[in-house]
Amino acid sequence: MPELPEVETIKNELAPLVTGRRIKSVDFLWAKTLVSPSIPEFDARVTGKLVKSLERRGKYLIFNLDSGDSLLVHLRMTGSFLSGTGKSVPSGHTRAVIRLDDGICMYFIDPRKFGKFQLVDDLRVKALDKLGPEPMAASFTSAVLIKLLEGRKGPIKAALVDQEFIAGIGNMYADEILFESGLNPLRPSDSLAAEEMKRLYKAIKQVLKRAIENKGASISNYFRPGGEKGTAHEGFKVAHRKGDCPVCGGPIKRIVVRQRGTYFCPVCQA
């Protein structure tokens, strides 16, 4: 599913296309894509409004409008945006179409139909309020991570994918982060020594930074707004990999941690 690097890439590449443009219309081809308000109220509140800015919070895209409303979009498992000219719908999996005043369209593609739109008049909504700190923010320091880990029970893998712990990290990047920091995914979160926490902090920053630079990972359904794939997955050491560890040559193992498939090297992450 799209995680922080994928959503950040979509934000970076959509922003020049939507910022300063007015919304001509939004058509929902799958009505359940819109959580709230009703479609008639949504239309009344977004039609003709200018997109002031595009932000990301965790795995959410946030379209800020000049009316004070904000459109929250969660891509969930298979959501992506594709830009186009509006001449034809590019996919049978298109669930919504945002039409702008310059003729550009943003197609929301979502094969599994789990993605959601929500229009809010205050960003202090439950979904965002519950999110943990942004791992790429300057305010996210090693001291912040150490504080978060204090007294935390359960496997460190489960902590990393908990959006209330840290926002934006999902399954595949958690696996890569733990490999880079040399930590077994089953290690209790409160068992890490100071040096291990420092390695974990460094790995979080480095893995996410590389993935953003490589425009996200196209493991399955993710693509960029221009239709291109990301290449971050090409550098994965363990996530979604079968065969031998690229470092020690031992077999990569797959286990399940809190109902999530987890890839790791039992040797490098002993």
By annotation, the residues acting in catalysis are 2-3, 59, 260
Tokens, residue 112: 């599994």
Task: Determine the angle formed by the axes of helices 194-213 and 4-18, rounding to 10 degrees.
Answer: 40
Helix (H, G, I), strand (E, B) or coil at 63: strand
Burial (0-12, 13-18, 19+ Cβ within 10 Å), 204 = buried
Closest CA to 187 of 152, 163, 141, 162: 152
Helix (H, G, I), strand (E, B) or coil at 165: coil
**Category of 262 on φ-ψ map: left (φ > 0), alpha (ψ -120 to 50) or beta:** beta
Give the C-alpha separation, 145 to 124, whole Å. Answer: 24
Contacts of 38 (CB under 8 A, 6+ apart): none
On whether the CB atoms of residues 75 and 88 are closer than 8 A, the answer is no
Burial (0-12, 13-18, 19+ Cβ within 10 Å), 61 = buried
Query: Furthest-apart CA pair in the chain: how many Å?
Result: 59
